[in-house]
């Protein structure tokens, strides 16, 4: 199975497992790639968001009401480009909006519709958002991609790979290998910072 929108690389996982030769065995590589894919989706599920790229240059990104606070929209991902803003299907002038590349806030500096919106009012954006992937079979190459997400994905993938062993001191004073299958506490702590707090 090939990697699909992963948040860490096969090499990252192999380094964690201390097994850089495993990619010579097709079944081991497949198992590790599957573990990375599953871990990446577990990160999405735990944080209630994703850390990938969203191209809305030809389609519309509809803004959820919970992302609108005062005169601003707080997006879930960094803004790469923002070309058009629509309120109730009406294209607004570019000078009515203020935003910065690689930030998540879009501020409306003109007349703002009544808030809270009624059910017929909606905001839509055109542009690109998120974390750049050179290739969706590799982790994001974006400098803003959170290292905490990469690390959490690595250790979750290691735990579900079936190949994660930790060294522990044995009773006789020797070192034993202990198989780790539980999601490490470190991953849960790392992901707390990125968890979506409102819906």
State the average pLDDT for the chain: 86
- Residue 158 has φ and ψ, to the nearest 5°, of -60, -45
Cα 150 from Cα 7, distance rounded (Å): 5
pLDDT in tens, the chain (199 residues): 699 999 999 999 999 998 765 556 788 899 999 999 999 999 999 999 999 999 999 999 999 888 888 888 999 999 999 999 998 888 988 888 899 999 999 998 876 555 445 545 688 999 999 999 888 899 999 999 999 999 999 999 999 998 877 766 666 766 666 667 788 899 999 999 999 775 4
pLDDT of residue 164: 79
Structure tokens at 15: 């380094």
pLDDT of residue 119: 45
Cα 51 from Cα 48, distance rounded (Å): 10
pLDDT of residue 122: 81
Phi/psi region, residue 44 (left: phi>0; alpha: psi -120 to 50; beta: rest), is: alpha
Q: Is 133 helix (H, G, I), strand (E, B) or coil?
A: coil
pLDDT of residue 121: 62
The pLDDT tens digits for 103-140 are 999 998 876 555 445 545 688 999 999 999 888 899 99
DSSP category for residue 112: P
Q: Indicate the Cα dihedral angle 183, 46, 126, 104, nearest 10°.
A: -90
pLDDT of residue 66: 84
141 Cβ neighbours under 8 A, 6+ residues apart: 132, 133, 134
pLDDT of residue 37: 97
């Amino acid at each position: 199975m090939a990697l699909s929108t992963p948040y860490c690389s096969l090499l990252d996982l192999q380094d964690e497992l201390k097994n850089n030769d495993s990619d010579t065995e097709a079944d081991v590589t497949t198992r590790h790639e599957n573990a990375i894919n599953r871990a990446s989706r577990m990160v999405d599920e735990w944080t209630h968001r994703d850390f990938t790229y969203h191209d809305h240059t030809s389609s519309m990104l509809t803004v959820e009401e919970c992302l609108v606070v005062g005169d601003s929209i707080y997006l879930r991902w960094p803004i790469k480009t923002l070309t058009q803003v629509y309120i109730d299907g009406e294209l607004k002038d570019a000078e009515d909006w203020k935003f910065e590349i690689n930030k998540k806030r879009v501020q409306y500096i003109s007349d703002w519709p009544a808030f809270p919106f009624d059910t017929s009012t909606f905001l839509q954006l055109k542009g690109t958002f998120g974390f750049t992937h050179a290739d969706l079979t590799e982790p994001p190459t974006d400098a803003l991609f959170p290292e905490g997400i990469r690390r959490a994905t690595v250790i979750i993938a290691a735990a579900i790979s079936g190949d994660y062993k930790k060294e522990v001191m044995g009773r006789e004073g020797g070192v034993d290998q202990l198989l780790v299958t539980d999601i490490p506490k470190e991953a849960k702590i790392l992901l707390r910072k990125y968890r979506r707090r409102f819906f």
